[in-house]
């Protein structure tokens, strides 16, 4: 029998009814709650505190590499567009200063079990710069040989030699940016990336032993049609990457300048966008991919799908992961660290970043120290997003509250809005999300988001359609 989204009881009318803008909850509280009262000194205090109380706890690293050689019009990332490749050498000099400064608060040389290079375009760096960066990191951290080391790849800047080098440097996970193979779409978003080039990247990555290879697709882009996207899916599903991410394009030209270069008459209507989304989900399910939740699909034998079935899935700034909760130290402009019960974000521009480090100061400029209410809500949201199931007693016990009393209002809202639609069940001790409810995880999590519930303008977040 064919597996479709309809076989989960989801149809267009239901999607429209529950389609509200909301965060993706790669963190709670979400980054829009960060404030400047949390600064470099607060971040340093947390590093120092964690190093004293849990010196042996594994560490996760994120390195932000902001440069891109050309602009994709849909982009909402923090990046620097330049053709001047000498700029990355200067950036590495400053990353080195930041590594030294951050690790001066971690004298116990924490073991790294997970690392992610994101951007921008990490492979804007040339071979010797990538090698230098890895040397800098290895000189300052103790890397677990069994760890997960991932990098975002733009096939336009990563030839065969670079992929081999990345494997030699220890990378073993990769996410490849695809979006859509349709040439008209690629032209409309100013990202010309021939299909053969993408497929060659995938083949080389496999040859080099990369595991859990992900491909990113986006629906709702200009000039996109169900027929065109269906052809992209034919090719992608034939290539059978281990994971697929299917993101909704949020067209917010008033917030993101590059998006103003998109011709509004090229945008698909909300109906067409929904049709493309349903088509894509159905094709992925039918090809045997397991829906993990929040835009992510994985082949049933992929570690993410296995972790979901075992109830050991986690979520961090990069999305779903199999790695247990650990401190995340983020390096580079605009990156966000998660240390104990705190989030700290680095300054957003290169000038500010360089100026801070020239003064010998950590470049952290904003963040948040989580309150006990933030902590319990974070646990609830992460349990729902990752396991789709939670024990009220267990969460209540670990936070010293009676869950049913603490969340009486939220439980009533779940019973009223989601239970009648069979998206979840609320019993005496459990909240359990059904397979149908997995497609509406964001809306369910939003019920527990104290800040979102009191927000005046939720439209800064994306929607499904
Ligand atoms: S989508 Fe990626 S490659 Fe394109 S401009 Fe944004 S960060 Fe750079």
Cβ neighbors of 296 (< 8 A, separation 6 or more) are 243, 244, 245, 304, 319, 320
In this structure, what token pair is assigned to residue 132? 């230098």
Residue 123 alpha carbon to ligand 1 centre in Å: 12
The values of phi and psi at residue 314, to 5°, are: -130, 170
384-438: pLDDT as tens digits: 999 999 999 999 999 999 999 999 999 999 999 999 999 999 999 999 999 899 9
User: Residue 116 and residue 139: Cα distance in Å, rounded?
Assistant: 17
Q: Which sign, positive or negative, has the C-alpha torsion 368, 372, 377, 380? A: positive
Residue 120 alpha carbon to ligand 1 centre in Å: 5
User: Residue 428 and residue 349: Cα distance in Å, rounded?
Assistant: 50
Q: Residue 465: its pLDDT value, please?
A: 60
User: Residue 438 and residue 216: Cα distance in Å, rounded?
Assistant: 20
- Is the pLDDT at 216 greater than 90? The verdict is yes
Provide mean pLDDT across the span 93-106: 96
In this structure, what token pair is assigned to residue 113? 């079990």
Atom of ligand 1 nearest to the CA of 74: 1
Single out the residue of 216, 236, 231 nearest to residue 276, CA to CA: 231
Higher pLDDT, 219 or 78: 219
Nearest CA to ligand 1 atom 1: 75
Nearest CA to ligand 1 atom 6: 75
Cβ neighbors of 401 (< 8 A, separation 6 or more) are 376
Residue 250 alpha carbon to ligand 1 centre in Å: 15
- Is the pLDDT at 330 greater than 90? The verdict is yes
Q: Dump strand ranges (E) for 307-435.
A: 314-316, 319-321, 327-331, 336-339, 342-346, 364-369, 389-391, 424-426, 430-433
Atom of ligand 1 nearest to the CA of 68: 8
C-alpha radius of gyration, the chain, whole number: 22
Provide the greatest CA pair distance for the chain: 64
| Ligand 1 site residues, Cβ closer than 6 angstroms | 68, 71-72, 75, 77, 79, 119-121, 154
Provide mean pLDDT across the span 198-219: 97
Round the average pLDDT of the chain to a whole number and report it: 94
Distances in whole angstroms, Cα of residue 363 to Cα of each of 5, 30, 92, 293: 45, 20, 15, 34
Q: Which helix (H) or strand (E) holds 323?
A: none
Domains of the chain in start order, with CATH, are 1-27+372-465 (1.10.10.920), 28-328 (3.80.30.20)
351-393: pLDDT as tens digits: 999 999 999 999 999 999 999 999 999 999 999 999 999 999 9
Q: Residue 1: its pLDDT value, please?
A: 64
The values of phi and psi at residue 361, to 5°, are: -110, 145
Residue 72 alpha carbon to ligand 1 centre in Å: 5
Q: What percent of the chain has pLDDT over 90?
A: 82
In this structure, what token pair is assigned to residue 21? 């803008």
Environment class of 254 (CB within 10 Å of its CB; exposed 0-12, middle 13-18, buried 19+):
exposed
SS (H, E, C) 135-197: HHHHHHCEEEEEEEEEEEECHHHCCHHHHHHHHHHCCCEEEEEEECCCHHHHHHCCCCCCHHH
Residue 3 alpha carbon to ligand 1 centre in Å: 34
User: Residue 30 and residue 28: Cα distance in Å, rounded?
Assistant: 5
| DSSP 8-class letter at 35 | B
Single out the residue of 255, 242, 222 nearest to residue 298, CA to CA: 242
User: Residue 350 and residue 79: Cα distance in Å, rounded?
Assistant: 10
Mutation to probe ligand 1, out of 73, 123, 154, 259 (largest number of atoms < 8 A from CB): 154
170-180: pLDDT as tens digits: 999 999 999 99
- Is the pLDDT at 350 greater than 90? The verdict is yes
Q: Residue 44: its pLDDT value, please?
A: 97
Q: Dump strand ranges (E) for 336-421.
A: 336-339, 342-346, 364-369, 389-391
Provide mean pLDDT across the span 131-142: 96
Nearest CA to ligand 1 atom 2: 120
Between helix 270-286 and helix 226-239 the angle, nearest 10°, is 20
Q: Residue 462: its pLDDT value, please?
A: 67
The values of phi and psi at residue 31, to 5°, are: -60, -25
Q: What is the distance between the terminal CA atoms of the chain, rounded to a whole angstrom?
A: 28
Among 34-43, 77-86, 107-116, 433-442, top mean pLDDT goes to 34-43
Single out the residue of 318, 340, 308 nearest to residue 327, CA to CA: 340
Residue 154 alpha carbon to ligand 1 centre in Å: 8
Q: What percent of the chain has pLDDT over 70?
A: 97
Distances in whole angstroms, Cα of residue 378 to Cα of each of 151, 316, 460: 27, 11, 21
Q: Residue 3: its pLDDT value, please?
A: 79
- Is the pLDDT at 290 greater than 90? The verdict is yes
Residue 68 alpha carbon to ligand 1 centre in Å: 6
Provide mean pLDDT across the span 61-82: 95
Residue 13 alpha carbon to ligand 1 centre in Å: 34
Length of the chain, in residues: 465
Q: Residue 107: its pLDDT value, please?
A: 82
Q: Residue 459: its pLDDT value, please?
A: 59
Atom of ligand 1 nearest to the CA of 191: 4
Residue 130: pLDDT band with limits 50, 70, 90: very high
Mutation to probe ligand 1, out of 71, 76, 77 (largest number of atoms < 8 A from CB): 77
Provide mean pLDDT across the span 45-58: 89
**Cβ proximity of 123 and 130 under 8 Å:** yes
Cβ neighbors of 335 (< 8 A, separation 6 or more) are 62, 63, 64, 345, 346
Nearest CA to ligand 1 atom 4: 72
């Amino acid at each position: 029998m064919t597996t479709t989204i309809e076989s989960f009881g989801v149809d267009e009318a239901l999607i429209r009814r529950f389609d509200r803008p909301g965060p993706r909850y790669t963190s709670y509280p979400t980054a829009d709650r960060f404030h400047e009262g949390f600064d470099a000194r607060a971040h340093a205090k947390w590093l120092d505190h964690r190093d004293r109380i849990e010196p042996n706890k594994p560490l996760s690293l994120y390195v932000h590499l902001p440069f891109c050689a050309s602009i994709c019009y849909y982009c909402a990332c923090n990046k620097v567009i330049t053709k001047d490749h000498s700029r990355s050498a200067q950036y590495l000099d400053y990353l080195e200063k930041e590594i030294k400064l951050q690790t001066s608060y971690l004298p116990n040389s924490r073991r790294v079990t997970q690392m992610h290079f994101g951007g921008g375009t990490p492979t804007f760096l040339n071979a010797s710069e990538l090698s230098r960066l890895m040397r800098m990191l290895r000189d300052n951290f103790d890397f677990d040989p069994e760890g997960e080391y991932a990098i975002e790849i733009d096939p336009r800047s990563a030839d065969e030699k670079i992929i081999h080098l990345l494997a030699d440097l220890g990378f073993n996970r990769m996410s490849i940016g695809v979006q859509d193979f349709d040439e008209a779409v690629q032209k409309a978003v100013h990202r010309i990336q021939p299909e053969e080039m993408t497929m060659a990247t995938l083949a080389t990555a496999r040859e080099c032993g990369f595991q859990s290879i992900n491909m990113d697709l986006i629906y709702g882009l200009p000039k996109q049609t169900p027929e065109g996207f269906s052809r992209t899916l034919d090719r992608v599903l034939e290539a059978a990457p281990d994971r697929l991410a299917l993101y909704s394009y949020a067209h917010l030209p008033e917030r993101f300048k590059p998006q103003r270069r998109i011709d509004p008459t090229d945008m698909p209507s909300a109906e067409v966008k929904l049709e493309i989304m349903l088509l894509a989900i159905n094709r992925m399910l039918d090809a045997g991919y397991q829906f993990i939740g929040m835009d992510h699909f994985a082949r049933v034998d992929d570690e993410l799908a296995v972790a979901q079935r075992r109830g050991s899935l986690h979520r961090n700034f990069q999305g779903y992961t199999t790695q247990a909760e650990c401190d995340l130290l983020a390096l580079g402009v605009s990156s966000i660290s998660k240390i104990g019960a705190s989030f700290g974000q680095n300054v957003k521009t290169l000038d500010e970043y360089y100026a801070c480090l020239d003064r010998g100061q950590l470049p952290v400029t904003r963040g948040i120290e989580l309150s006990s209410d933030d902590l319990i809500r974070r646990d609830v949201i992460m349990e729902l997003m990752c396991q789709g199931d939670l024990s009220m007693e267990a969460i209540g016990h670990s936070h010293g509250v009676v869950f049913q009393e603490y969340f009486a209002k939220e439980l009533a809202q779940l019973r009223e809005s989601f239970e009648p639609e069979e998206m979840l069940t609320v019993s005496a001790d459990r909240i359990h999300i059904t397979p149908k409810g997995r497609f509406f995880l964001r809306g369910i999590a939003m019920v527990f988001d104290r800040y979102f519930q009191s927000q005046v303008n939720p439209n800064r977040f994306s929607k499904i359609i």
